[in-house]
Structure 1
Amino acid sequence: MPTRDEIAVAVRELYEETLLGMTEGDYEEHGDGSLRYGYDEGPMYELQITRGGIARLTEWADQEYETELCPMREVEALPQEKAVLLWELLASGEIEAVRSHFQVAKRPL
């Protein structure tokens, strides 16, 4: 399980990274990160966060990603601090707490 510091560094790199020679198009092409939490034979949860602050939560029946358990949920304008919190919650298996942030589709957090 990643530590809070590791998650915070990853989110900071996602939101703020500026590499010499990278164009905005480069960042758009590789502009997201995701964290997965799941079980060998059970559900798999994936939380993708984009550089622009969009978070997408998907739930799958297993690690094969063949059967989606519910439609993808999305929120926009996710502040960096909330991104850290959501990845922390997911990494610790707090699925209901993560879901609670996605109750109303596309609402700012």
Structure 2
Amino acid sequence: MKILLLEESRGFRDTLHDALQKAGHEPALCHDSGAFIEAALSVGYDCAVIDVRSWFRGEALYSYMNILEKMDPIPMLFHHTPEGFKTLDGREPVAEDIVLEGSCSVDDIVQAL
């Protein structure tokens, strides 16, 4: 599965990237908001794995660039979410979306996919 990653924590991102590759996926490594925007504007992703904390830091820019419109309707796995989180503002949930509340590990994310 071709996966778009948004994770700004280098250690977690690199570990997650490697674990997803070992599980047979093709993760796109986005080290910052600019790389994420560039990748999101391309097509062909099967899903996105979004660290919600990283999303909130770049939310104004993502909204300005209409990133959600360009990414829909792919399923998204959201991790490190606040309690009660369903989806990102301005986006309708997709049936295949996955929400991992609170802290989670790389293994939690890989197993959820």
Q: Same fold (TM over 0.5)?
A: no
Larger Rg: 1
Larger helix percent: 2
Larger strand percent: 1
